[in-house]
């Protein structure tokens, strides 16, 4: 049996060690790329259909022809996960979708663009480093709103998941200058909360879960699960503009992301949220999600080895 994980690149299944982009690929020279990510719970991928659908929607918006159907891509996902779970037995894995506009036959920036370019499509996996979120689950995380602002949706749609994240790289560096352990939470040009570099942000106050407007954020699969759990349990779920004031005065604040579902935020810009501790409603949502996937998510993370 092949003991090396495999990836999918430009129509072929190849060993991870051979999965490389050309230096003149548009994903490198122009940042013309889209992405998505799905993870397993107990070895089973969660909501592959939704992640694949979002990836295809991103591609359509970005004028990137993936050259396959959603069903064909789902088959690729299943093959990679099934093979690589045998390479990493007992581990949970994440699968990354990545596509660029293709390769430039002559590197000259935009001047070399051709109308017959073929998209570079890549899917690869990695074992989830669950131990990285132990501290978050036990003690929560600290948020900082950096000076760097979120990309306005009239510049680049917030509905797509892309790799144009230099602004978030800069913003995260700014946030960590204030608090080395913090996560950058981005404001839009009007001072409204948007999202972090890898998660949605919602607040819980007076029995209501509140999310920023979906026109201003990437609507996450995990965020949709939060909305569904609220609907199931009769908890109001509202979308509206929220500011730093609302986050600082919330009962609880959560970050929503595929790798860990929800992690609590206990501080923003140095201000304690609630009593500054992990809240009970977050735990109820984590328990509900654990029941949904048939796995104790908090326990899995706390027991993960480095």
Taken as a whole, the chain contains a residue count of 306
Maximum alpha-carbon separation in the chain: 59
Angle of helix 48-61 relative to helix 221-233, nearest 10 degrees? 130
Domains of the chain as residue ranges with CATH = 6-128 (3.30.470.10), 133-302 (3.20.10.10)
Q: State residue 78's pLDDT score.
A: 97
Tell whether the model's pLDDT for residue 113 goes beyond 80.
no
Q: What is the pLDDT of residues 3-14, one digit of tens each?
A: 899 999 999 999
- Determine the Cα–Cα distance for residues 282 and 188; give it in Å rounded to an integer: 26
Closest C-alpha among 247, 241, 251 to residue 270: 247
Question: Who's near 157: CB < 8 A, 6+ residues apart?
Answer: 61
What is the overall mean pLDDT for the chain? 95
Tell whether the model's pLDDT for residue 114 goes beyond 80.
no
DSSP state letter for 213:
-
Q: DSSP letters along 230-264, please?
A: HHHHT--EEE----HHHHHT-SEEEEEETTTEEEE
- Determine the Cα–Cα distance for residues 220 and 200; give it in Å rounded to an integer: 7
- Determine the Cα–Cα distance for residues 20 and 3; give it in Å rounded to an integer: 19
| Residue that the structure tokens 């949220």 belong to | 273
Tell whether the model's pLDDT for residue 292 goes beyond 70.
yes
Q: What is the pLDDT of residues 213-231, one digit of tens each?
A: 999 999 999 999 999 999 9
Q: DSSP letters along 119-170, please?
A: -EEEEEEEE--GGGGHHHHHH-EEEE--SSPPPPTTTS-TTS-BS--HHHHH
């Amino acid at each position: 049996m092949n003991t090396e994980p495999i990836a999918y690149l430009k129509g072929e299944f190849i060993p991870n060690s051979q999965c490389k982009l050309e230096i003149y690929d548009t994903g490198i020279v122009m940042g013309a790329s889209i992405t998505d990510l799905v993870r397993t719970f107990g070895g089973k991928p969660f909501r592959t259909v939704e992640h694949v659908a979002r990836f295809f929607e991103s591609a359509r918006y970005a004028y990137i022809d993936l050259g396959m159907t959603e069903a064909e891509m789902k088959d690729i996902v299943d093959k990679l996960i099934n093979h690589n779970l045998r390479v990493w037995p007992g581990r949970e894995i994440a699968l990354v979708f990545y596509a660029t506009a293709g390769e430039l036959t002559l590197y000259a920036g935009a001047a070399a663009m051709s109308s017959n370019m073929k998209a570079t499509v890549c899917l690869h996996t990695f074992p989830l480093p669950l131990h990285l979120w132990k501290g978050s689950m036990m003690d929560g995380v600290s948020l900082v709103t950096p000076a760097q602002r979120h990309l306005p949706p009239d510049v680049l749609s917030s509905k797509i998941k892309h790799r144009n994240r230099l602004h978030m790289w800069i913003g995260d560096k700014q946030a960590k200058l204030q608090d080395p352990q913090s996560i950058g939470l981005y404001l839009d040009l009007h001072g409204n909360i948007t999202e972090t570099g890898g998660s949605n942000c919602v607040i819980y106050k007076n029995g209501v879960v509140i999310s920023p407007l979906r026109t201003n954020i990437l609507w996450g699969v995990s965020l949709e699960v939060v909305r569904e759990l609220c609907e199931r349990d009769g908890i109001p779920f509202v979308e509206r503009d929220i500011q730093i004031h609302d986050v600082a005065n919330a009962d609880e604040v959560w970050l929503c992301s595929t790798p860990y579902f929800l992690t609590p935020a206990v501080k923003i810009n140095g201000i304690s949220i609630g009593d500054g501790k992990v809240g009970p409603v977050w735990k109820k949502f984590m328990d509900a999600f654990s029941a949904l996937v048939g796995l104790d998510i908090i326990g899995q993370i706390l027991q993960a080895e480095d």
